[in-house]
Amino acid sequence: MTPSSPHPALAARRARVRRLRARVAAGAIALFLALFAGLYVQMATGHDPALGAGSAQVATTSTTTTTDDSSQQDATPMTTAAS
Amino acid sequence: MTAAAVATGEHLFWLTSRAAGIVALLASSASVGLGLLMAGRMLRRRGLDLRSLHEALSLAAMAAIVVHAGALVFDGYVNLSVAGVTIPFLGDYRPLWTSLGIACGWALIALGLSYYWRARIGVARWRALHRWTALVWVLSIAHALGEGTDAGRLWFLASLAIVVVPAAVLLGLRHAPPTPTPTQR
């Protein structure tokens, strides 16, 4: 047996570990994409906990309230978070 | 493009950070739970598979932590610097909770990666060090509940409870004082 070809049992074990890692990585990516999509929809429909009444309203009001600088500071998305 | 789409597009990195933070929390909770099951010898499956799964979940959690912090750097709205997401007490936004999260992130990555240097550290010393992961995990849950944008949401609390409660029970059992066995007369 050459040094480059490991014992079949060891090779099988490594393959099993690789499969397991790939499954966990795929699961984590799938979970991330599902969460991202859910949060995106939540924000787009105006149900985001931080932006409250809707991101569209934040986008429009930020262009109309240009005279009051102090009120614009409250437009930061996380200032009303986790209530 | 609609106004809602424009506004949502502005927050893509922030959404990325939130989603990655939740993945990190769920993966680390599952990893801690599995680690406690292994430590208590409560599972009878092949040790290699369990250890590999524990390791893979830890690596997934570490990657998610990096994305969670890294995405905030690119978010134009919160406008955090690299130093702001990597060095505690440097940012202005909720300094206590953010700093706790930064410290937990570094600690989880350091404790997780220490596995690959356990031969150099010494297995006994590494095991003693590895037990601190549970404390860091508890503190990271506090960070998520204290600062997380979705912390008040039922879906978030329910999904968190599914992985956190079993791990917390196992942690409690592991650190509970041993009950005296009745002696035979």
Question: How many other CB atoms are there within 10 angstroms of residue B121's CB atom?
Answer: 16
Task: Please give the interface size between A and B, counted as residue pairs whose CB atoms are below 8 Å apart.
Answer: 105
Which of the listed ranges B46-55, B108-117, B176-185 does the model predict with the highest average pLDDT?
Answer: B108-117
Q: Do B148 and A82 touch (CB under 8 A)?
A: yes
B133 has a pLDDT exceeding 90: yes
Complex ipTM > 0.90: no
Cα three-residue angle B80-B86-B90, rounded to 5 degrees = 65
Give B5's contacts in chain A (Cβ within 8 Å). 44
A-chain residues near B147 (CB < 8 A): 81-82
Burial (CB count within 10 angstroms: exposed 0-12, middle 13-18, buried 19+), residue A73? exposed
Q: Looking at beta carbons, which residues of chain B come within 8 Å of A63?
A: none
* Mean pLDDT taken over chain B: 88
Q: Is B3 exposed, middle or buried (0-12, 13-18, 19+ CB in 10 A)?
A: middle
Q: Which long-range contacts (CB under 8 A, 24 or more apart) does B14-17 make?
A: B14/A77, B14/A78, B14/B71, B14/B72, B14/B75, B14/B77, B14/B78, B15/A36, B15/A39, B15/A40, B15/A43, B16/A36, B16/B67, B16/B71, B17/B67, B17/B68, B17/B69, B17/B71, B17/B72, B17/B75
The residue with greater pLDDT, B5 or A28, is A28
- Comparing A51 with B75, the larger pLDDT belongs to B75
For chain A, how far is it from start to end, CA to CA, in angstroms? Answer: 65
CA distance A45 to chain B (A): 8
What mean pLDDT do residues B127-149 have?
Answer: 93
Burial of B18 by CB count in 10 Å (0-12 exposed, 13-18 middle, 19+ buried)?
A: buried
Residues 6 or more apart whose CB falls under 8 angstroms from that of A29 comprise: none
Give the angle subtended at the CA of B153 by the CAs of B149 and B155, to the nearest 5°: 120
The per-residue pLDDT for B7 is: 60
Mutate to test the interface with A, among B59, B66, B149 (most CBs of A within 10 A): B149
Tell me the chain A residues in contact with residue B49 when contact means C-beta distances shorter than 8 Å.
Answer: 16, 20
Taking 90 as the threshold, does the pLDDT of residue B114 lie above it?
Answer: yes
Nearest chain A residue (CA) to B49: A17
- The confidence band for B152, taking pLDDT boundaries of 50, 70 and 90, is confident
Residue A77: the pLDDT is 47
Query: Does B76 touch chain A if contact means CB atoms closer than 8 Å?
Result: no
* Verdict on whether the full-model pTM lies above 0.95: no
Q: What's residue B49's pLDDT?
A: 81
Closest CA to A52 of A61, A43, A64, A65: A43
> Does residue B50 or residue B21 have the better pLDDT?
B21
Of A36-40, B11-15, B97-101, B175-179, least confident by mean pLDDT is B175-179
Tell me what pLDDT residue A82 has.
36
Closest alpha carbon within chain A to B156: A35
Tens-binned pLDDT, residue by residue, of chain A (83 aa) = 455 677 888 888 888 889 999 999 999 999 999 999 999 998 888 888 877 654 444 444 444 444 444 444 444 444 333 33
Average pLDDT of the segment spanning B112-133: 93
Q: Which residues are CB-neighbours of B112 under 8 A, at least 6 positions away?
A: B58, B59, B61, B62, B133
Q: What is the DSSP string of chain A?
A: --TTS--HHHHHHHHHHHHHHHHHHHHHHHHHHHHHHHHHHHHHTT--TTTTT-HHHHHHHHHH--S-HHHHGGG-TTTT---
Higher local confidence (pLDDT), B182 or A34: A34
Residue count of chain A, please give it.
83
Residue B47 pLDDT greater than 80, yes or no: no
- pLDDT for B149: 87
Chain A touched by B51 (CB under 8 Å): no
Q: Tell me the C-alpha distance between B61 and B133, whole Å.
A: 13
**CA distances (Å), origin B142, targets A81, B11, B20, B168:** 15, 24, 17, 13
